[in-house]
Amino acid sequence: MIPLSWYLLLSATLFCLGIVGFLVRRNLITIFMSIELMLNGVNLSFVTFAHQWHLVKGQIFVFFVMVVAAAEAAVGLAIIIAIFRARATLAVDRIDLMKL
Amino acid sequence: MHLILFIVFAGLCLAGALNLLLQKHPINSALSLVVVMTSLAVLYLLLGAEFLAAAQIIVYAGAIMVLFTFVIMLLNAGREERTLGSKAAVALGFPAVAAILAVIATVILKAQDLGSVSLSDGITSTEELSRVLFHELLLPFEVTSVLILIAILGAVSLARKGHGDQEAGK
Amino acid sequence: MNGPLLFLPLIPLLPFAGFLLNGLFGSRLPKALVTLIALLAPLGSLAIVAHDAYLFWSGAITFPVIEQGAPTWISVGTLHVDFGFVLDQLSLTMLLIITGVGFLIHIYSAGYMAHEKGYWRYFAYLNLFLFFMIVLVLAGNALLMFVGWEGVGLASYLLIGFWFQKTSAADAGKKAFVVNRIGDFGFLIGMFLLLANFGTLTFSEIATKIGENPGWTGGVLTCIAICLFVGAAGKSAQIPLYVWLPDAMEGPTPVSALIHAATMVTAGVYMIARSHAIFDRSPVALSVVAIIGAATALFAATMGLVQTDIKRVLAYSTISQLGYMFLGCGVMAYSAGVFHLMTHAFFKALLFLAAGSVIHGIGGEQDLRKMGGLRKKLPVTFWTMTAGVFAIAGAPFLSAFYSKDAILYAAFQQGTFGRVLWAVGLFTALLTSFYMFRLWYLAFFGKQRAPELHPHESPWSMLGPLVILALLSIGGGWIGIEKFSEWLAPAVGTHAVEAAGGIPEWAFSVIAVSMGLIGWLVAHVLYFAKPDQPAKLAGSFSVPYKVLVNKYWVDEIYNALIVKPLLMISRFLLEWVVEFAIIGGVVWLLAGIALLTGAILQKWQSGNLRSYAAWLAAGAAALLLFAGAVLLAANGVDIKWAGWK
Amino acid sequence: MGGVEMNAIDSYILTLILLVPLAGALLIALLPDRGKLSAWIALLTVLASFGLTLHLPAHFLAGQPGFQFEVTQPWISNPAINYHVGIDGLSLWLVVLTGLLAPVGVLASWNVIQTRSKVFYALFLVQQTAMFGVFVALDLMLYYGFWELSLVPMAILIAMYGRKEGPKAATKFFLFTFIPSAPLLVAILWLYAKTGTFNFTELQSAIAGGALPAGALFWVALAFLFAFAVKVPIFPLHGWLADAFSEAPVALAMVIAGKLGLYSMLRFHVALFPEQVKCVAPVLIALTVIGILYGACLALVQRDFWRLIAFGTVGHFSLTTLGIYGLTLTGRTGAVYQTLNQGVMEGALFVLLGVIYSRYESSQIAAFGGVAAKLPRTAVFFVITSLAMVGLPMLNGFVGEFLILSSTFIGVSQGWATAATVSVILGAAYTLWLVQRVFYGPESALATEKPAADLRWNEWIVLAPLALLMLMMGLAPGLWLPTIESSMKLAPIQQTSSSQRILLPPLAVTFHDSKEAAR
């Protein structure tokens, strides 16, 4: 018997760790991965609440989150490749011009 | 039993997340992210979402993380360089995030009638899941497929050979 | 007045027609036609005035003739002003002088200005002056008089600045107009006071209102009288505002004769005589007028002693004689003042025109030091000038003798205060005869100091008026003060002349004549017997000499005290501080604020991804905290999940 | 409107006056810009509109209360804005004046405007419509529309035809007048919210009826005053005038200041908020007298004759505003008459300055001298106009000036009136100094080497009638004063009671009261 609050705590910590990664890290890909982490944190809380109220919609919503994450990853990585090809660096601070 | 499983996999999850932050080379953080995702899949199972766990493993850990590692390998960017301004971000960032975590934690802990879970709870069958998905939420489902299509097109056009070089060449 | 027609409006309209004809078409008309038009105008007016005078003497009409039903000029609310002309003894006398002397001067200037480029423009302005002067004299109410008042100021501005190519002439014109405007400021305030307290500006109504209330003295009336006197002082060049007259000599000489000797400058005296009802009721104002009159007479006479320019000497002499007239009015001897005004018009116009003939004769030279010995070469000018000099010096049985004595005698009766004025007047008479004979000797006697000048007598068109004016200045006074004041009595009121404390009147005349003789003797000694004496005298009394030569530095003082500070204030305090700093500053401040906010916001769009991320997170955090706070506040600390379903 | 017999045209004459310039503008906009074509069309349009405006005084019934030639057409149902136009004694002559100044403007810029004359004349005619609109509109929203419209063409033309820094002056002008009109709109909408109507007469009675809260009404009145004060301009708000005058083309400079602001003050401030005006009047009297002296002093020291005229205008219009806020019947009538005089004088003055500037391409007074020899006729007209400005009796400036100053002296306060009368001296000083430095004195280098042709036909045709008008308005003000006075008399404010008058100490003489009875 594990109270659901523990799951929620875990998802909150994951989410916050994602934010920290998003703020602190300077490599573009790492930032991207911390966003994925945040999304997973959210997924966990979705499932938890789905279980709490015995509603399947929660879980379906996680599907949609996954879809969006996938699309985002695809496009994001394409951009990263384009940036890397143009600037030969992935350090976020050096990429500050709107034009590549 | 349930407790042990939860402890183990929650720990694994946290460790992977922390490792993601601390690693210098992106490939290590990518792999640690894979660990996080698989442990989450197990947690989903604990919560009775078996199909979801499977999807998590296949889609997230399998597809997206593989894509990440592939791109990291392709770009072979190497370690992160230290640039200015990181000190301020760290000094400012951590306390803020900690504060947010504290608030959320208090809200969660304060909540009274939050239920609990045990291994004996029923697992939501895929059949039940699919009925809801294809009856009530059919439209969002189709919209997501369109979204995926657009994403693919975008990815292709962005990553095309000619696109990047022209910019750099000019 | 359905009696015989007086053609009153025609008197001013003839010169106005002359002005329009010459003004608009003068440049294209032949010179002879221009002269004809210019001369016809004053002649016509003189004829009408003579006709009206004849009507009065023949008893066909009685004065004062107040024109009824004149066209209204302004009528708003309680203020009602119309073009009402009034003809009475006072204005008839003035009209006779203006049109008579004016006509003579027109003839004279036909010869004097014969070879000037702007010939038609000169005569147009001269006719315009006559029009405004006649309107001033005939005006029945103060506002219409103000029209004439400013109009003559305008005409004098145009005529002084006739040779506008010369900066000194243009400056003198502007100075005359501005100083006159200062006087007009006083006149305006006087009119406002009249309106505030009498509700009307017509002189007759004011006089009747004052008549009805014998109790009114001082207070309001003094204020009005003093304001009107400020206007008169501006126009008739009295102490504070006389500075423009000496500079007005920049204009052609006939202009000086007509405007700055005979007619315009006497407008102030006429105005006081016209509004004598107000002045009678304010002894304070009367004493002010008398004091300033006497002071101006003395002050101007002293400055006239050392002038070298022939016209400047006459200018200061005019200011001095005007002082006499104001002294006359100040001691309520209005008729004596007007009598002196008339005789002064004759002999001063004569002196100016004679001086003009001298200048014309020696090719435009005005400096007395370069003249001398012109007696034989300009005989007619010499003899007419002599008549003028003797007249103004107060030689017995000539015009000034009668009028100046009348004023001094009237002053003597005003108690001790009057006696002081009488003494000042007497001493000024001595100075007057001294500087006039000085001029006389310097110009006509001794040997010719500037050989290069070859003087020639002026043509008869100029000498004719000189002769007539000479006769007038000799015979002008024979009417005698008694008959003259009796003639003016209905217009200016009679004033009891107390006994002179036992001293018979002829004794005063003897004293006055002796003053004149002394002045002549001193001038004779200094400038005829020992010509080098004045240089030595100037050397010994160097300080007072320098003061007089620099005209007490009055112009410089005015400049330093009024003009310069005004310009400084408006340039630095007003233009720099208020205009640029404050008003410009406010505008710049508003623009500055806009730019500043723009600059601050611009920092946000730095293009640094991580700063965007930070702001994103901060925003999310703030939102979360806010939601949390609201939630906590809303349902206390225990969060019931049920509430959220 | 009274059952008075009105011939057919009366009902739509005002609409016609509004539309003719607009039609002209459209026509010019459509036709190609070839040579003087647009100039001729503009001239014909303005002459037509001037002819129409002359119809008004011919059929105006003096002394009849309320508005004449009134037309009310519902236009927008919600909020209730309807096309409500009409004129009374006050706006009658201002409409005629605008009609008169239009041909003066077109003729004055006949050979000055060479490039893009199509745009110039089209915008000029739009400006004419806007100004006609402001004077005839009786529906507050319609009035506000025309008020804003009158800014736009002016700003564009200043920016396009500015001599040195047109755009800067244009933006300054636009912002200066536009910003305060925002609170004006708020005030109008507040009034609409409170009374449910934009109709001027209904608003007037509603406000007079005391239905509205006094506190808020004070701020509403202040918003109205602030917007109009900037347009006149009054002393502290005149920052834009000097730049606008030195940049605006001649045709616009003569209509840019004064008339609109002064008319709006009289109509939409003094008549609409009688109580609020009483407590604001003392402040305004002080401001205007300061403005008079300030404008005159600054005009004394200007080096550029455009700026000199600008500050002179500030002084003259402050005098007119003093007449309005003296709250005496004679003062207000004098103020309206002075606005008409000022319109005629400014018109002539700007044509003359345009002549000088177009010949010598410089506006620095120091560079001029002895120009009278080269341009004798211009000199004559310039002297006549400046004498009218200075207020020489027999010319039109004096009548208005005397009415305002005497009514302020009698009705308001003798101290302020005396201070204002000092402007008579300063005015003469700076005007004649300008005339002397430009026209008289020895010929300066600029005057000698630049060949200067004296007045051409288009300037001559304009200046002669204006000079004649100045003389007529000076000698026979009776043609204009009765209609103005009758409309002023109907305004709700009565003559201020004599007790309010502050007399000089010596004046407090017993007989003073008996005089009151006698009057």
Taking only residues 396 to 435 of chain D, the set having a beta carbon closer than 8 angstroms to any beta carbon of chain C reads 398-399, 402-403, 405-407, 409-410, 414, 417-418, 421-422, 424-425, 428-429, 432-433
pLDDT for position C621: 78
Is B39 in contact with A11 (CB distance < 8 Å)? no
| Cβ–Cβ < 8 Å for C129, C152 | yes
Q: Which two tokens stand for residue B69?
A: 């590692």
CB spacing of A67 vs B90 below 8 angstroms? no
* Whether residue D233 has a cis bond before it, omega within 30° of 0: yes
* CA proximity to C307, closest of C423, C434, C454, C180: C434
Question: How are beta strands C79-82 and C72-76 bridged, if at all?
Answer: antiparallel
Which residues of chain B are within 8 Å of residue C621 when distances are taken between CB atoms? 96, 99-100
Q: Does the structure show a pLDDT above 60 at D496?
A: no
Six token digits for residue D503: 């007399």
Highest mean pLDDT pick, C475-489, D146-160, D355-369: D146-160
Chains adjacent to B (≥3 CB pairs closer than 8 angstroms)? A, C
Residue D322 lies in a domain: yes
- Taking only the tens place, the pLDDT of each residue in D150-159 is 999 999 999 9
Task: Give a yes or no: residue D340 inside a domain.
Answer: yes
Cis preceding linkage at D21, omega within 30:
no
Phi–psi pair at D503, nearest 5 degrees:
-100, 155
What's this model's pTM, rounded to 2 decimal places? 0.81
Instruction: Identify the pLDDT of residue B169.
Output: 45
The partner residue sitting opposite C76, judged by closest CB among D373, D481, D519, is D481
Strand partners, C85: C139
D100 at C interface, C-beta within 8 A: no
Which 8-state DSSP code applies to residue D35? T
Confidence of residue B127 (pLDDT cuts 50, 70, 90): confident
Report the SS3 class of residue C600.
Answer: helix
Query: Given CA atoms D391, D396, D402, D407 in this order, what sign does their dihedral have?
Result: negative
State the Cα–Cα distance between residues C614 and A19, nearest whole angstrom.
10
Q: What backbone phi and psi angles, to 5 degrees, belong to C309?
A: -85, 125
CA C276, chain centre distance (Å):
19
C608–A26 C-beta distance less than 8 A: no
Range in B38-47, C547-556, D172-181, D384-393 with the lowest mean pLDDT = C547-556
Contact partners of C by the rule of 3+ C-beta pairs under 8 A?
Answer: A, B, D
The pLDDT of residue D6 is: 53
Instruction: Give the best residue of D425, D503, D519 to mutate against chain C (max C CB count within 10 A).
Output: D425
Q: Which residue has the higher pLDDT, A82 or C502?
A: A82
d(CA A71, CA D504): 91
Which residues in chain B are contacts of C639 at CB distance < 8 A?
107, 110-112
pLDDT at C644 over 80: no
Closest CA to D225 of D270, D182, D257: D270
- pLDDT reported for residue C497: 55
User: Considering the domain boundaries, does residue D141 fall inside one?
Assistant: no
pLDDT at D508: 37
Distance (Å, whole) CA C347 – CA C339: 13
Give the number of C-alpha atoms closer than 13 A to the C-alpha of residue D483, restricted to the C-beta side: 21
In a domain, D269, yes or no: no
**Which of B83, B84, B97, B112 is most worth mutating to test chain C (most C CB atoms within 10 A of its CB)?**
B112
Type of residue found at D323: G
Q: What is the pLDDT of residues C12-51, one digit of tens each?
A: 889 999 998 888 888 888 888 888 988 998 999 999 989 8
Residue C416 pLDDT level (bands cut at 50, 70, 90): confident
Burial label for C440, CB within 10 Å (0-12, 13-18, 19+), is buried
pLDDT at residue C187, as a whole number: 93
Taking the mean position of all CA atoms in its chain, how far away is CA D447?
33
pLDDT, position D146: 94
Residue (of D128, D117, D146) closest to D35 by Cα position: D117
C290 vs B107, more confident: C290
| Mean pLDDT, range B149-170, rounded to an integer | 71
**Are residues B110 and C637, on separate chains, in Cβ contact within 8 Å?**
yes
pLDDT band per the 50, 70, 90 thresholds, residue B83: low
**Is the confidence at residue D513, as pLDDT, over 90?**
no
Residue D233 within a domain? no
Given pLDDT bands bounded at 50, 70 and 90, which one contains residue C631?
Answer: confident
As to burial, measured by CB atoms within 10 angstroms (0-12 exposed, 13-18 middle, 19+ buried), residue B135 is exposed
Distance of alpha carbon C330 from alpha carbon C283, whole angstroms:
9
Asked if D touches A (at least 3 Cβ pairs < 8 angstroms), the answer reads no
> C264: closest CA among C15, C485, C87, C97?
C97
What are the residue ranges spanned by the domains of chain C?
Answer: 612-645
Q: Residue C642's pLDDT is what?
A: 47
- Confidence band, pLDDT 50/70/90 cuts, at residue A100: low
Chain B CB contacts of A70 below 8 Å? 59, 63-64, 148, 151
Higher pLDDT, C610 or D172: D172
- Name the domain count of chain D: 1
pLDDT for D4 equals 46
Instruction: Please name the residues between 520 and 579 in chain C that touch chain D, using a CB distance below 8 Å.
Output: 566-567, 569-571, 574-575, 578-579
Sign of CA pseudo-dihedral C373, C376, C379, C383? positive
Domain span at D304: 282-489
Asked if residues C300 and C317 have their Cβ atoms less than 8 Å apart, the reply is yes
What pLDDT, on the 0 to 100 scale, is given for residue D343?
A: 92
pLDDT in the model for residue C28: 85
CA distance D263 to D232: 9
Give tens-digit pLDDT for D35-86: 788 899 999 999 999 999 998 888 888 778 888 888 888 888 888 888 999 9
CB C139 within 8 A of CB C51: no
The domain made up of A4-94 has a fold known as Helix Hairpins (1.10.287)
Q: B86-108 as b/e, with b when 16 or more CB fall inside 10 Å? A: beebeeebeebbeebbebbbebb
pLDDT tens for residues C173-223? 989 999 999 999 999 999 999 988 888 888 888 888 888 888 777 788 899
Q: Which of C616, C624, C635, C637 should be substituted to probe chain B, the one whose Cβ sees the most B Cβ atoms within 10 Å? A: C624
Q: How confident is the model at residue D287 (pLDDT cuts 50, 70, 90)?
A: very high
Indicate the SS3 state at residue C365.
coil
How many CB pairs below 8 A link C and D?
Answer: 165
What average pLDDT score do residues D131-153 get? Answer: 93
Closest alpha carbon to C473 in C97, C25, C81, C47: C97
Through-space distance between the first and last CA atoms of chain B, rounded to whole angstroms: 63
Q: Residue D7's pLDDT is what?
A: 65
pLDDT confidence band for D497 (50 / 70 / 90): very low
Is residue C393 over pLDDT 70?
A: yes
Q: Residue B75 above 90 pLDDT? A: no
Asked if C617 has any chain B CB less than 8 Å from its own CB, the reply is: yes
Angle between helices D329-360 and D396-407 (to 10 degrees): 140
* Amino acid found at C21: L
Chain B residue with Cα closest to A9: B105
Domain ranges of chain A: 4-94
Is C72 exposed, middle or buried, given 0-12, 13-18 or 19+ CB atoms closer than 10 A? middle
Cα–Cα distance list, C164 to B115, C251, C252, C603 (Å): 109, 10, 12, 65
Write down the mean pLDDT value for chain C.
Answer: 85
Answer yes or no: is pLDDT of D506 > 60: no
Q: How far is B95 from chain A (nearest CA, A)?
A: 10
CA C442, chain centre distance (Å): 30
Query: Does a structural domain hold residue D273?
Result: no
D256's tokens: 């840019």
Q: What is the mean pLDDT of chain D?
A: 86
**CB atoms A33 and B13 under 8 Å:** no
Contact C461, C110 (CB under 8 A): yes
Question: For residue range D385-442, what is the model confidence (pLDDT) as tens digits?
Answer: 999 999 998 898 899 999 999 999 988 888 999 999 998 899 999 999 999 888 888 8
Q: How confident is the model at residue C366, as a pLDDT?
A: 84
Q: What is the pLDDT of residue C636?
A: 62
Which pLDDT score is estimated for B129? 86
Question: Residue C335 is which amino acid?
Answer: S
To test the contact with chain D by mutation, choose from C192, C222, C244 the residue with the greatest count of D C-beta atoms within 10 A, namely: C192
What pLDDT is recorded for position D19? 93
Which own/partner pairs from D497-501 qualify as long-range (CB within 8 Å, at least 24 positions apart)? D501/D410, D501/D411, D501/D412, D501/D413
Average pLDDT over residues C518-528: 85
pLDDT of residue C4: 67
C212 alpha carbon, distance to own chain's centre: 33
Q: Give the confidence band of D448 by pLDDT, cuts at 50, 70, 90.
A: confident
Asked if residue D215 has pLDDT above 70, the reply is yes
Nearest to D434 by CA among D256, D291, D296, D257: D296
The amino acid occupying position C178 is V
pLDDT at residue number C125: 92
The residues with which D89 forms a beta bridge, in sequence order, are none
D134 neighbors D263 (Cβ within 8 angstroms): yes
**Is 60 exceeded by the pLDDT of residue C550?**
yes
